[in-house]
A and B are shown apart, each in its own frame.
Chain A
Amino acid sequence: MFRNNYDNDSVTFSPQGRIFQVEYAAEAVKQGSVVVGIASKTHAVLVAIKRNAEELSSYQKKLFPIDEHVGIAIAGLTSDARVLSNFMKQQCLGHRLTYSRNMPIRSLVDMIGSKAQINTQHYGKRPYGVGLLVAGVDDSGPHLFEFQPSGMTEEMIAFAIGARSQMARTYLERNLDKFKTSTREELIEHGLRALKESLVQDRELTVENTSVGVVGYVKETKKTEPFQVFDGHEVQRYLELVADDKKEGGPQAATVEDESTAMDVDA
């Protein structure tokens, strides 16, 4: 029977130059439900599909606030994300205390990157089985970062990780040029449309299974619109933006009437 001899720990290379434990960790990310993140000049949004373990249980949260100006979306082992989330919360708080400012997103992401990389190079440790999308604003504006269990981090304009996320990424690539100048609502709409793409045939977005997180930067006042997660009935108005069946076109194709009804719901 075939057995892989090179996947017992994360410090041994296979003869092909691969480290299987790290690759398996990347597989854990693909098992998680899909999360999408997009950044514009003014906002960064995260949207996610939540799963419930069984009919009788509640839905597992996917979006977590880290600090006033940062939030994360997780795909993979939730319990591993907990460790990273706690670490990030502490770092942000420490930075706020010593410098009285928003921690730069890149510094924060670099720190979890280094933390995760160590686990891939020490015998007896295992990589984190979770991927993150980190959305936040700092003095240089909105940012979106991807984090992988290998410790790799990358700044993104838009990205999706998790199960069937390729479909969502394809949508994002098709609409890449629109994101930069998108408004807050348009960005959320794009995010939800990307999510929709990755759904299996008979599933759809509902108020139960959809989460939306937004963080923004008001350039005039240099103030942060704090990271906020919308769940349950709060996502209803956003779901209505993508309720129609015109899959392509995105927000720009939406009629003026659609927008005004969306406003009425809010009022």
Chain B
Amino acid sequence: MDHRPQAWGRPRDDVYGAYDASYLNNSGPRTVTQSPVVTGTSVIAIKYKDGVVMAADNLASYGSLARFTDVKRLRTFLDTTVIGFGGDVSDMQFLDRHLKELATDESYEVEPTLDDEDDEESSSSKPGHLNAANLFKYLQKLMYQRRNSFDPLWNQILVAGLDSDSKPFLASVDLRGTSFTSPSLATGFGAALAQPIMRKYAGTEEDAAKLTREQAVEVVKECMKVLFYRDARSLDRYSIAVVNKDGIELKEDEQLEKQSWAFAERIKGYGTQTV
């Protein structure tokens, strides 16, 4: 009988045989994400005079396979902020759960002010709540922290809403924690295909401040169409969100309209064409 403490509470080896721990040891080093698996493509967003318009299609690709066609890649935070995710979908789902938790905690923080009779605050600037700029800063720190632990969240993220001065806010952060802001932003293929189009309308903050909501939505829809024409990992069903001081209007099952593939036959130089 083995009386040594390390044998306490364990099945006796002389009765049951030695414990087979082999299935517990996964040999080799601990591994982290080396490349994204199921991915979402571009997210695009543009500022206008009172807010921001953001869109992303509803596709999650498995390599070049259009695997899931109903994935919602835009999410809202506390009815004040829109977040768009490009890149790995499982990391997006992780962030989605994380942000949900953060939003719950934040909702409990709401302070009953001593004088609550004269609060005429709009829904998009709830006092004491994280605004888009605050949330973006948090995501930026989170992404950079994960990169520094060599286990990045494989996403590029756009955050849209209003900042602490109630001005439209739009910023981007990627898997390395790199962040920047601009009157219009696009991730993935959109950076090459949609951004030049959006810059025609909102090249500077001043230009963006002149855009109306209708114009901004129109530009974004046009960009989604171009992306569908030319990005092979895209879909014609998409989500579009408008965020301003009155809150968020999010439509998650939009269909691209007025497509014309007439240009397609003029494209040469690909595939098996011989001419």
Contacts and interface: CB of A to CB of B under 8 A. Distances in A.
Interface of A: 39, 41, 97-101, 104, 106-107, 138-141, 143, 155, 157, 180, 222
B109 A106 contact: yes
The secondary-structure label for the interface of chain B is: loop
Contact of B134 (A41, A100, A140): A100
A98 B142 CA distance: 9
Contacts of A100: 133-134, 137
Interface in B105-140: 109, 111, 113-115, 127-130, 133-135, 137-138
Contact of A99 (B111, B114, B127, B134): B134
Nearest to A179: B114
A53 B138 CA distance: 46
Given A98-B137, A99-B138, A106-B109, A139 B127 contact: yes
**B: contact size bracket:** 10 to 19
B111 A106 contact: yes
Interface in B128-163: 128-130, 133-135, 137-138, 141
A106 B127 CA distance: 13
Contact of B138 (A98, A106, A141): A98
Given A157-B114, A222-B165, A139 B129 contact: yes
Given A101-B130, A140-B128, A180-B115, 18 more contacts: A97-B141, A98-B138, A98-B141, A99-B130, A99-B134, A99-B135, A100-B137, A101-B164, A104-B128, A106-B109, A106-B111, A139-B127, A139-B164, A140-B127, A141-B113, A141-B127, A157-B114, A222-B165
B105 to A, nearest CB: 10
Interface of B: 109, 111, 113-115, 127-130, 133-135, 137-138, 141, 164-165
9 contacts: A39-B114, A97-B141, A98-B137, A100-B134, A104-B128, A139-B164, A140-B127, A222-B164, A222-B165
Contacts of A41: 115
Contact of B137 (A39, A99, A139): A99
Contacts of A39: 114
A143 B111 CA distance: 10
A144 to B, nearest CB: 9
A155 B114 contact: yes
Contacts of A97: 141
Contacts of B128: 104, 138-140
B109 A107 contact: yes
A256 to B, nearest CB: 28
Contacts of B115: 41, 180
Nearest to B110: A140
A39 to B, nearest CB: 7
